[in-house]
Amino acid sequence: MANEHINEVIEREYTPGFTTNIESDTLPPGLDESVIRTISARKEEPQWLLEWRLDAYRRWLEMTPPEWAQVKYPPIDHNAISYFSMPKSMADKPKSLDEVDPELLATYEKLGIPLHEQAMLAGVAVDAVFDSVSVATTFRENLAEAGVIFCSISEAAREYPELVKQYLGSVVPKTDNYYAALNSAVYSDGSFVYIPKGVRCPMELSTYFRINESNTGQFERTLIIAAEGSHVSYLEGCTAPMRDENQLHAAVVELIALDDAEIKYSTVQNWYPGDAEGKGGIYNFVTKRGVAHHRAKISWTQVETGSAVTWKYPSCVLKGDDSIGEFYSVALTHNHQQADTGTKMIHLGRNTKSTIISKGISAGQSSNAYRGLVRMSPRAVGARNYTQCDSLLIGDRCAAHTFPYIESKQPTAVIEHEATTSKVSDDQLYLCQQRGIDPEKAVSMIVNGFCKEVFKELPMEFAMEAGKLLEVSLEGSVG
Amino acid sequence: MLSIKELRASVEEKTILQGLSLNIAPGEVHAIMGPNGAGKSTLGHVLAGRPGYEVLSGSVAFEDQDLLAMETEERAQAGLFLAFQYPVEIPGVSNMEFLKASVDAVRDSNNLEPLDSVTFMKRAREACKAVNLSIDFLKRGVNEGFSGGEKKRNELMQMMLLEPKLCILDETDSGLDIDALQVVAAGVNAMRSADRSFIVVTHYQRLLDYIQPDFVHVLAGGKIVRSGGKELALELESKGYAWLDGAA
Task: Quick: pLDDT tens for B121-177.
Answer: 999 999 999 888 998 999 899 999 998 889 999 999 999 999 999 999 999 888 888
Question: Is A441 within 8 Å of B101 when comparing Cβ atoms?
Answer: yes
Question: Is B98 within 8 Å of A450 when comparing Cβ atoms?
Answer: no
Question: Is B90 within 8 Å of A2 when comparing Cβ atoms?
Answer: no
Of the residues A424, A430, A434, the best mutation for testing chain B's interface (the one with the most B CB atoms within 10 Å of its CB) is: A434
pLDDT of residue A142: 79
pLDDT of residue A165: 94
- Residue B209 pLDDT greater than 70, yes or no: yes
Question: Is B102 within 8 Å of A437 when comparing Cβ atoms?
Answer: yes
* Below-70 pLDDT ranges, chain A: 1-13, 17, 22-23, 88-97, 99, 104, 108, 110-124, 131-136, 138, 211-215, 238-244, 460-479
pLDDT of residue A231: 96
Q: What is the number of structural domains in chain B? A: 1
State the count of interchain CB pairs (< 8 A) between A and B: 86
pLDDT above 70 covers a percentage of chain B that reads 98
Rounded to two decimals, the ipTM of the complex is 0.94
> Could you tell me which chain A residue has the CA closest to the CA of B107?
A436
Task: Quick: pLDDT tens for B13-63.
Answer: 899 999 999 999 999 999 999 888 889 999 999 999 999 999 999 999 999
Q: Output the 3-class SS for chain B.
A: CEEEEEEEEEECCEEEEEEEEEEECCCCEEEEECCCCCCHHHHHHHHHCCCCEEEEEEEEEECCEEHHHCCHHHHHHCCEEEECCCCCCEEEEEHHHHHHHHHHHHHHHCCCCCCCHHHHHHHHHHHHHHCCCCHHHHCCEECCCCCHHHHHHHHHHHHHHHCCCEEEEECCCCCCCHHHHHHHHHHHHHHCECCEEEEEECCCCHHHHHCCCCEEEEEECCEEEEEECHHHHHHHHHHCCHHHHHHC
For residue B132, give its domain range. 2-247
The model's pTM: 0.81
Give CA–CA dist B248/B244, Å, rounded. 7
Nearest to A337 by CA among A360, A303, A365: A365
B168 shares contact with chain A (CB less than 8 Å)? no
pLDDT of residue A214: 63
B144 shares contact with chain A (CB less than 8 Å)? no
> Could you tell me which chain A residue has the CA closest to the CA of B77?
A436
- CATH number assigned to the domain comprising residue B216: 3.40.50.300
Question: Is A433 within 8 Å of B77 when comparing Cβ atoms?
Answer: no
> Could you tell me which chain A residue has the CA closest to the CA of B90?
A428
Amino acid at A344: K
A451 vs chain B: nearest CA distance in angstroms?
8
pLDDT of residue A306: 81
Task: Quick: pLDDT tens for A20-61.
Answer: 776 677 788 888 999 999 989 988 899 999 999 999 999 999
Does residue A15 or residue B184 have the better pLDDT?
B184
B227 vs chain A: nearest CA distance in angstroms?
28
Of the residues A4, A435, A437, A441, the best mutation for testing chain B's interface (the one with the most B CB atoms within 10 Å of its CB) is: A435
B50 shares contact with chain A (CB less than 8 Å)? yes
B51 shares contact with chain A (CB less than 8 Å)? yes
